[in-house]
Amino acid sequence: MDYKEKYKKIVNSLLKKSFPELKMEKIKIIEYPNWLIFWANGFVYKLPFSWGIFISKTERQLNRKALIGLLAHELCHVEQDKKIIKNFLFGFFQSLFVDLSWAFDTKTSRIVERKTDLLAIKKGYGRELLELVLFQGKKSSKRKSAKTHSRGYLSPQQIKSYMKKLK
Ligand SMILES: [Zn+2]
């Protein structure tokens, strides 16, 4: 199956439905082998004339609902980054800073990830995000899930309670 094509279709429909601010942006999907950047399932990077959503090949096993959750989360990154990144060079260093802060698990990255999850729920993708988190929880050990959660990502309980609050 052509996964890039499958992701692109989901991204296009998400853009149409929930990301009017990104209407004029060019967004590329790039898959990478999971050994390359083994600590992240996906991330966003500013490219010269577009945005790159990088997705690890391990994510091919996600079901459609969880995949929508992941791509909505990544598009929320783009939407937030777009507000601060005005050109490629600035974007390059800004993205580098954010990614390094993620790799070293800093407070900045935890705040960013939390904000991004909350925005995805606000846009109506709480159920999909929940599916993603539950799927990833099933796959990994308790210790690894706790570590993921400590990086700022919402837990299933937090997603549910935030969804209730928004109703
Ligand atoms: Zn993220």
Tell me, in angstroms, the distance from the centre of ligand 1 to residue 115's CA.
9
Q: How far is the CA of 88 from the centre of ligand 1 (A)?
A: 20
Q: Where are the domains of the chain?
A: 3-166
Q: How confident is the model at residue 121 (pLDDT cuts 50, 70, 90)?
A: very high
Distance 156 CA to ligand 1 centre (A): 16
DSSP string over 48-74:
TTEEEEEEEGGGGGS-HHHHHHHHHHH
Q: How many residues does the chain have?
A: 167
| pLDDT score for 79 | 95
Residue 162 to residue 59: CA distance in whole angstroms: 25
Whether 60 has a pLDDT exceeding 90, the answer reads yes
Across 155-161, average pLDDT: 94
In this prediction, residues 107-115 reach a mean pLDDT of 86
Task: Note the pTM of the prediction, 2 decimals.
Answer: 0.89
Q: To the nearest whole number, what is the mean pLDDT of the chain?
A: 88
Alpha helices in 104-141 (DSSP H): 107-122, 126-139
